[in-house]
């Protein structure tokens, strides 16, 4: 017969788990431990924190310990939980695509500034991944329609599932292919093109945190020798897919914004602007394309 002596107080499990994770690359050991325990118990983290008197049965301990081991060996919390909060929603994530980053919310904010609330605007999201950017824009602009493209079929599948779950599937189309070549003749022209392309210089990939280097797909990171291969391609090709007066907004890496802004101006874009993220880093370059 099981007795209370077999049970482990949640506070004790959390203390030991956080101490173990503090010995790893995790920057947030206590938070990670709380998220893993809540997930293993099938409750929200807030719920767990409100009921810290609870104790874990042996089977609950086994499940929580298994998740802890995965985290301790470097797997990102988002992959273990299969979800990440971004903008106003929880997005399903997986190995096929980048885990949405808080920095990328700056791209959504910039996109919204370029997107009319009343008109039925068309939006193109290049390298859509989980669909987090396009789906967030569509959720804020109920009259907008969008297309999300990605070269990885697994990412397209994730984005499609997220769009369905978050109630915008009827306004979002996802296709697999290499940048603009995945578009069909009837697609567009677009009022807004957004992209968070791969922008890490190839030589810097090895120096990334192990969690990123080992678990994020290289296709989502590697931007070529100076990180700007995809950015250059998008800057050159986007005008043929924009309405006159349409906008392009690109997320960029640390210290890339001035260079990208100058590339945009050289290509003939107007009203080139740079937006900072919450850490004060220049994160998004936006511009307008006007043929007049």
Ligand X SMILES: C[S@@+](CC[C@H](N)C(=O)[O-])C[C@H]1O[C@@H](n2cnc3c(N)ncnc32)[C@H](O)[C@@H]1O
Annotated binding site for S-adenosyl-L-methionine: 127-131, 150, 179, 196
Instruction: For residue 175, give the DSSP letter.
Output: E
- Tell me the C-alpha distance between 62 and 7, whole Å: 12
Residue 139 touching ligand X (CB under 6 A):
no
- Tell me the C-alpha distance between 39 and 190, whole Å: 40
- Tell me the C-alpha distance between 177 and 153, whole Å: 8
Annotated binding residues for substrate, written as ranges, equal 196-199
- Tell me the C-alpha distance between 180 and 89, whole Å: 27
Complex with ligand X: residue 18 or 158, whichever CB lies closer: 158
Stretch that binds ligand X, among 20-28, 112-120, 147-155, 240-248 (CB under 6 A): 147-155
Residue 150 touching ligand X (CB under 6 A):
yes
Region 186-225 residues binding ligand X, contact defined as CB under 6 A = 196-198, 219-220
Q: How many CB atoms lie within 10 A of CB 15?
A: 13
Stretch that binds ligand X, among 33-41, 72-80, 130-138, 203-211 (CB under 6 A): 130-138
What x/- string results for residues 79 through 108 when contact with ligand X is judged by CB under 6 A? ------------------xx-x---x----
**Longest Cα–Cα distance in the chain:** 82
Annotated binding residues, written as ranges, equal 127-131, 150, 179, 196-199
Instruction: For residue 158, give the DSSP letter.
Output: H
Q: How many CB atoms lie within 10 A of CB 288?
A: 17
Least distance to ligand X, CB of residue 219, Å? 4
Q: Which of 129, 227, 246, 253 binds ligand X (CB under 6 A)?
A: 129
The single residue listed with the structure tokens 């210089």 is 201
Instruction: For residue 100, give the DSSP letter.
Output: P
Residue 151 touching ligand X (CB under 6 A):
yes
Q: Which residues bind ligand X (CB under 6 A)?
A: 97-98, 100, 104, 127-130, 132-133, 149-152, 155, 178-179, 196-198, 219-220
């Amino acid at each position: 017969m099981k007795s209370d002596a077999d049970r482990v107080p949640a506070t004790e499990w959390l203390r030991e788990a956080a101490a173990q994770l503090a010995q790893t690359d995790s920057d947030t050991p206590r938070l990670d431990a709380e998220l893993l325990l809540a997930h293993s118990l099938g409750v929200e983290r807030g719920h767990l924190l409100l009921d810290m008197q609870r104790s874990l049965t042996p089977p609950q301990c086994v499940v929580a310990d298994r998740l802890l081991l995965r985290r301790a060996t470097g797997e990102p919390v988002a992959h273990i939980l299969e979800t990440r909060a971004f903008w106003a929603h929880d997005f399903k994530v997986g190995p096929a695509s980048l885990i949405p980053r808080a920095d990328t919310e700056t791209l959504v904010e910039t996109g919204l500034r370029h997107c009319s609330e009343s008109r039925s605007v068309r939006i193109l999201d290049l390298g859509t991944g989980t669909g987090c950017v396009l789906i967030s824009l569509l959720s804020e602009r109920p009259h907008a329609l969008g297309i999300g493209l990605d070269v990885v079929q697994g990412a397209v599948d994730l984005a499609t599932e997220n769009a369905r779950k978050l109630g915008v599937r009827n306004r979002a189309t996802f296709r697999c292919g290499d940048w603009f070549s995945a578009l069909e003749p009837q697609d567009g022209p677009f009022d807004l093109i957004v992209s968070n392309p791969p922008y890490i210089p190839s030589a810097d990939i090895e120096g990334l945190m192990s969690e990123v280097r080992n678990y994020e797909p290289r296709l989502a990171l590697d931007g070529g020798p100076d990180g700007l291969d995809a950015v250059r391609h998008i800057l050159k090709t986007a005008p043929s897919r924009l309405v006159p007066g349409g906008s392009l907004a690109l997320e960029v890496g640390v210290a890339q914004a001035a260079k990208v802004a100058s590339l945009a101006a050289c290509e003939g874009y107007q009203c080139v602007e740079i937006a900072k993220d919450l850490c004060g880093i220049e994160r998004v370059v936006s511009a307008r394309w006007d043929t007049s």
